[in-house]
Amino acid sequence: MSNQRVASRYAKSIMELSLEKGRLAEVHTDFQRLTALAESNHELRLVLKNPIVNSDKKLNVLKALFAKGADPLTMTFFEIISRKNREEILLDVAKEFENQYNLHMSIQVAELTTTFPIDDKLRKEFAEVVKEISGKKTVQLVEKVNPDLIGGYILKVNDRQLDESLSSKLRQLKTQFITNHYESKI
């Protein structure tokens, strides 16, 4: 079975258990913290995926990182994952848990790339556009700044992309000028 499917099943089980116990917000915070730690610390990712490091050491690293403030349900989950020698999929589980949490809470994550940092007024307008596209109640915008766009924006919502950047418009013009419609093709 692929790691993605296994991670999805583990995420679903911890999601259902945290809902049942009324600890969803706490477990979600712990998984966000794990993801943030892994993004900021490359060594943590390597340790979790390294088959040479035994499961007890990986569990001790997780316990040390989450010693203060972690929910007992999350720590129990880490112990179960460790017992089954599945630490390498823990970051995939965290990512899938975030997806399932967003689905459960009706949160739509959208990626917005502009040439400059946007203000609150623009942020609100983009959030309304994303709500209209997705039909979800809440929008979480991931904002990126890319001056190579020259102007405009790129908005990604799920598998849809609205590319209203000047750089893409210039590329389209370039491809139109490359083909000469008036040249004889005999």
* pLDDT-derived band at 177, boundaries 50, 70, 90: confident
> Pick the residue with more confidence: 177 or 186?
177
* pLDDT-derived band at 51, boundaries 50, 70, 90: very high
Task: Quick: pLDDT tens for 73-108.
Answer: 999 999 999 999 999 999 999 999 999 999 999 999
Share of the chain above pLDDT 70, in %: 96
Strand order in the sheet with 160-163: 138-145, 107-114, 153-157, 160-163
| Domains of the chain listed by start with CATH number | 3-103 (1.10.520), 106-178 (no CATH)
Q: Is the pTM of this model over 0.95?
A: no
Mean pLDDT value of segment 54-73: 93
Q: What does the pLDDT read at residue 57? A: 95
Sign, CA torsion 123/29/17/57: positive
- Indicate the angle between helix axes 72-83 and 55-65, nearest 10 degrees: 170
